[in-house]
Amino acid sequence: MIKQISILLFLTSSFVGFSQQVPQFTNYLTNQFAYNPAVAGSKDCLDITLGHRTQWSGFEGAPVTTYGSFNTTLKQDKFGLGYKHAIGLVVLNDSYGPFNRSKLKAAYAYHLPLTRDILFSMGMFFGVEQVNFDANDVTLINYNDDAINNSRRSIIFPEITPGIFLQSDLWFAGATLQQTLGNRKKAVGTDETKLTRHGSLMGGLNIPLTNDWSIVPSTLFKFSKAAPWAIDVNVMADFKRKLSLGISYRNTDAVAALINFNLLNYFRVGYAYDYTISKIRFGAFNSHEITLMINPCGFKEASKYACPTFN
């Protein structure tokens, strides 16, 4: 019972407190659109991504995230200068302990060239999020606890996420701000819960070594009020944009091994294995993440500005 209560306190702190409140992905290079709406339309073709992440497997009530997204160019300028509109959609479900969070977000992005080699994009996610609480998953010493019995079982609130993105054929950089509205809602165990704003900065660089091989270092920096900064540092070795192998380090949690490979030209499969290095390793195993990307135009077909890290 003590163990179950400790797990509950740990997991609910991520919701009712001021710690991390958004899902995280180790293989973020294959899933940039889930972070940044301005990425929509970066490929001149329909781009579909499906994924599943099991974090801290073996730990009771640990986070499990499933998501799907698509984005595509809506309209390009008829003169071929690079101006274009794009749309997209993200569906995500994140469960942890007695909580289940579902998101539905539509995206719009506008792309315009800054130079012949650099494209600037700005976008916005508009959507809703629903948080459900299942009291049957809670073990308490006092089953008449008013903090549980009087809590709302489900809350729905809007979500807006702006983003900007810069890209060329050798590098990319982007910034987003999630939970921008900072919604306040009544929730389990508290009179009021505040969803804190979460910022993220992402960037990467392609360094050619030979005609076939290149090194792609990248980083994802995440921050929010009253929570530790989280920094992912990722280094991938890429072979002809067909196979990528890499390692990653997250300062707050894990080191990871990653692999991405093309399958039949139109599919790209990604897998990440996280080895937990934080104190939670004493009560849990490690994390697994798998991603499937679908590009009907083929992954060999890159847009004019497309960075090799996501093509």
Per-residue pLDDT of the chain (311 residues; tens, 9 = 90+): 333 333 333 333 333 333 446 778 899 998 899 889 999 998 878 999 999 999 877 777 788 999 999 999 987 666 556 688 999 999 999 988 778 889 999 999 999 999 888 999 999 999 998 888 776 666 655 556 555 555 556 788 888 999 999 999 899 999 999 888 766 655 554 555 667 788 999 999 999 999 999 999 999 999 887 677 889 999 999 998 899 999 999 987 889 999 999 988 899 999 999 998 877 666 657 889 999 999 888 775 444 445 545 45
How many separate domains does the chain show? 1
Q: Which amino acid is at 191?
A: D
Burial (CB count <10 Å: 0-12, 13-18, 19+), residue 293: buried
d(CA 147, CA 310): 46
CA dist list (Å): 53 to 91, 101, 273, 291: 14, 14, 10, 9
Distance CA 92, CA 101 (A): 8
Q: Got the DSSP string for 133-146?
A: E-GGG---S-TT-H
Q: Which residues contact 6 (CB under 8 A, 6 or more apart)?
A: none
Question: What are the C-alpha distances in Å from 58 to residues 64, 114, 281, 284?
Answer: 11, 49, 10, 5
Tokens matching residue 297: 């135009």
Q: What are the beta bridge partners of residue 96? A: 99
User: Domain of 137?
Assistant: 2-310
CA dihedral 291, 281, 235, 115 (to 10 degrees): 70
CB neighbourhood size of 106 (10 A)? 15
CATH number for the domain spanning 30: value is 2.40.160.40
